Amino acid sequence: MRFENKVVIVTGGASGFGKGIVEKFINEGAKVLIADINYESAKEFSNELGKNAEALKVDVSKALDVENMIKETVLKFSKIDILVQNAAIGMKPRMLIDSSEELFDNLFKINVKSIYLGAKNIIPQFIKQKAAGNIINIVSTAAIRPRPGLALYNATKGALVPMTKALALEVAQYKIRVNGICPVAGETPMLKEFLGEQDPSTAYENFKSTIPLGRLAEPYDVANACLFLSSEEANFITGVMLEVDGGRTI
């Protein structure tokens, strides 16, 4: 198993892409902290997975919660090898001029500030351990090929591209790698919100038709990309945006 004795944190790990990422790491021998705002779902999931999984309630937009997430993981598993920053929120399609300041603030708080907080708190731990660490930021094809009606969401994901690349340069001296994954919309609970008020089946088929490989992303697609970028096979890869999108951004 490729990740035996590795310790992984997955934010937003109780549902959607995060759940698939957690399962894949567990199946490859890792110990995983499932960090999620929905503790009940995270705890139920960790119980299903067994002794190598632990659940923790975390609001990724709060500095104290993220700081505690790092401390609790080290207390439980003695170290951290990989941080997957997956937690995010979406929005219903609307024009930018119809978007509230409250929506703007909330999207940037959850989707951008959280990535800053995670990196700020994990990097000192990686340096302290004197061992190579990995940060994987789950971005989106929205950062590369934005869709109308999602300007604010597009902006939050777009912000993560230079942040990820700049951070990769800053921490390369410590043998810490930082990469991003850009999945197309997937078969997750967020999908209905993204598709908006139009007929769900029509909206689904219309969007699917924009993906050359003819389907939406599945959690295992993103999980496989995470494991590759975290593995020894990718130890000379940092600062990349890996598109997991069936060709949508071509």
Inter-residue contact 29 to 3 (CB < 8 Å):
yes
What residues act catalytically? Answer: 153
Instruction: List, as one string, the DSSP characters of 209-224.
Output: TTSTTSS-B-HHHHHH
Q: How far apart are CA 185 and CA 242, in angstroms?
A: 15
Give the strand pairing for 82-85 and 7-11. Answer: parallel
* Of the candidates 243, 237, 238, 233, the residue with the CA atom closest to the CA atom of residue 3: 233
What is the helix (H) or strand (E) element at residue 54, kind and residue range? strand 53-57
Distances (CA, A) of 203 to 102, 113, 191, 194: 27, 31, 10, 10
Q: How far apart are CA 249 and CA 243, in angstroms?
A: 8
